Amino acid sequence: MPFIPHTETDIRAMLAAIGASDTEALFDEIPAEFRTRGLDGVPAALSEMEVGRLMSDLAARDTRRLNFIGAGAYEHHIPSAVWAIVSRGEFYSAYTPYQAEASQGTLQLLYEYQTMMASLTGMDISNASLYDGASGLAEACLMAVRANRKSKSQRILLPVALNPTYRSVLQAIAGNQRLAFDLVPYDPQGGQTVVAALEKYNGQDITAVVIQQPNFFGTLEDVDAVTDWAHANGALAIGAVNPTSLAVLKPPGQWGVRGADIACGDGQPLGVPLSSGGPYFGFMATKSEHVRQMPGRIIGRTLDLDGKPGFTLTLQAREQHIRRSKATSNICTNQGLLVTAATIYMSIVGPKGLAQVAATSMQRTQQLVDALARVPGVRLAFDRPRFHEAVLLLDRPVGPVLEALASRGIVGGYDISAHYPSLGHGLLVCATETRTRADIETYACALGDVMKSAAAA
């Protein structure tokens, strides 16, 4: 709201009209011990002028740096037309389309989005949409418990090479709903999940197996073998995927003999800027037989009484629409504006354009790895095929190296040593189509200088 018109006199008059002594009295139903008296780091109320000054100062600190970090959020080129269209009033300010007759444009866009995502993932049906990739995977695991009725264990097998943030969110959301997670190790040479490690679970009651492709290290998994193992042992297969990679990699719907049962991930690479960490959006797609267990909502295309095509909310198994106890999910947020951006982005770049983005990103990452691995004290961690991320091992702690690079205007990657201490000093680096050969050479020279300086010190 750009302008709040109420003066202190207005507020006192409104409080007097309802018989409240002050604004705190409006919250007397909340016990005193549950009320927050202050928030650390949040200043007192500011005037409009002070807020404007603060926001300008913060914006000025958001400098353009040479970025080689990925780890779940990726810097891709976004055609200027994407957000020019998204910012139009009919998209930018459109609300949830409860009234189909007044929301045909929004419904049609969401229908087109679902069609694109189902095609991209190789699945039958897509929802529209989820909060983000991490919570989307938690929803997929909860969905698997509902869909796999033969399983009673609520046990999910997770690869250690799954994004650590995803693992934390899984535990926070699904772990607190009595789901149990068993970790499957990765091969220290290749960085992929060890398929043979699944054998100890043969014959056990396993509800689902999660497969991230590519995994957190950027390494490509043996998705066919893991998917077939899951199905042979009565478990569902959940694919957590990077949507850009699906332009060049086998989609989840084609993994193994029968394909994955559920596909999910973060849609940020599809036309959504990094934006200092969000907002992003989550996607989910599944096979037809599991559609009733899928959270979110589905837009359908139908015919009216006059035989004209139209769009409507077809399946809405969320607590906004049905009883809480019957809802497939109690996380009601869907990121409609970001989904709009993704739909326009995919429409503009098309299948060939998306494949070019993916292929160029892979090429740039290979150039990056080749350049950085020539720096003394740096070597490649894994020898398996990768997408557009790779793990490098340094001969010294990563943190100080990244700080030195940052002082030179380079975001050098993500320090994974805390998550994977057995690797040693691990640095996850990423390159997309936005990085040029000159960018890579700049990084390699800077890293060489930093490593020399640190050695001398």
pLDDT of residue 152: 96
What does the pLDDT read at residue 87?
A: 93
Same structural domain, 256 and 399: no
Query: Is there a domain that residue 184 lies in?
Result: yes
Would 16 be classed as within a structural domain?
A: no
What was the pLDDT predicted at 321? 61
| pLDDT at position 61 | 81
Look up tokens 């010190």; give the residue. 457
* Residue where one domain finishes, among candidates 306, 321, 345: 345
Would residue 20 count as lying in a domain? no
Nearest to 349 by CA among 112, 81, 91: 81
- 252 C-beta neighbours (distance < 10 Å), count: 30
pLDDT > 60? residue 2: no
197 shares a domain with 125: yes
Helices (H), strands (E): how many in the chain? 11, 15
Look at residue 103 and tell me if it is in a domain. yes
Regarding whether 297 and 240 lie in a shared domain, the answer is yes
Residue from 423, 18, 454 nearest 188 by CA: 423
**pLDDT at residue 325 above 80?**
no
Kindly tell me if the per-residue pLDDT of 1 is higher than 50.
no
pLDDT tens sequence across 430-452: 999 999 999 999 999 999 999 99
**Per-residue confidence band for 425, with pLDDT thresholds at 50, 70 and 90:** very high
Please tell me the predicted confidence (pLDDT) of residue 96: 74
Together in a domain, 387 and 312:
no
Most confident by average pLDDT, 261-265, 310-314, 453-457: 261-265
One domain for residues 238 and 340: yes
Whether 129 is in a domain gets the answer yes
Among 298, 325, 345, identify where a domain stops: 345
**Which CATH number fits the domain that encloses residue 440?**
3.90.1150.10
> 345, 378, 398: which is the final residue of a domain?
345
Asked if residue 359 and residue 338 are part of one domain, the reply reads no
CA-based nearest residue to 328, from 362, 293, 359, 372: 293
The region of weakest confidence among 85-99, 136-150, 355-369 is: 85-99
Is 7 in contact with 19 (CB distance < 8 Å)? no
What domain count does the chain have? 2
Question: Does this model's pTM top 0.85?
Answer: yes
Q: Are residues 271 and 386 in the same domain?
A: no
Distance CA 284, CA 180 (A): 22
Q: Band the pLDDT of 455: cuts 50, 70, 90.
A: low
The answer as to whether 57 is a domain residue is no
Q: Which single residue is written with the structure tokens 């049905």?
A: 322
Long-range contacts of 366-369 (CB under 8 A, 24+ apart): 367/431, 367/437, 367/440, 368/68, 368/429, 368/431, 368/435, 368/440, 368/443, 369/429
Higher-confidence residue of 238 and 297: namely 238
Rounded to the nearest integer, the mean pLDDT of the chain is 93
The percent of residues in the chain predicted with pLDDT above 90, rounded, is 77
Cβ(272)–Cβ(132) below 8 Å: no
169 and 227 both lie in a single domain? yes
pLDDT by residue (tens digit) across 160-207? 999 999 999 999 999 999 999 999 999 999 999 999 999 999 999 999
Amino acid at residue number 214: P
Sign of the torsion formed by the C-alpha atoms of 255, 365, 191 and 160: negative
In this structure, the answer to whether residues 248 and 102 fall within a common structural domain is yes
Q: Does 56 fall in a domain? A: no
Of the two residues 344 and 58, the one the predictor is more confident about is 344
Query: Residue 318 above 70 pLDDT?
Result: no
Q: What is the separation of C-alpha 211 from the centre of its chain, rounded to a whole number of angstroms? A: 15
CA geometry: angle at 168 spanning 66 and 120, to 5°? Answer: 65
The reported pLDDT for the residue numbered 345 is 98
Please give the distance of CA 191 from its chain centroid, rounded to a whole number. 21
Mean pLDDT of 99-105: 83
Is 277 in the same domain as 154? Answer: yes
pLDDT at 323 over 70: no
Give the C-alpha separation, 436 to 111, whole Å.
36
Pairing between β-strand 180-184 and β-strand 155-159 as defined by DSSP bridges: parallel
Q: What residues are paired with 357 via a beta bridge?
A: none
264-303 pLDDT per residue, tens: 999 999 999 999 888 999 999 999 999 999 988 899 999 9
Residues 153, 112 within the same domain? yes
Asked whether residue 313 falls in the same domain as residue 382, the answer is no
Whichever domain contains 294, its CATH number is 3.40.640.10
**18 inside domain:** no
Which residues form the domain of 208? 80-345
pLDDT at 417 over 80: yes
The amino acid sitting at 20 is A
pLDDT value at 457 more than 70: no
pLDDT band at 354 (very low <50, low <70, confident <90, very high): very high
pLDDT score, position 456:
53
What region, left, alpha or beta, does residue 411 occupy, with left being phi > 0 and alpha being psi -120 to 50 degrees? beta
CA angle 50, 56, 62 (to 5 degrees): 140
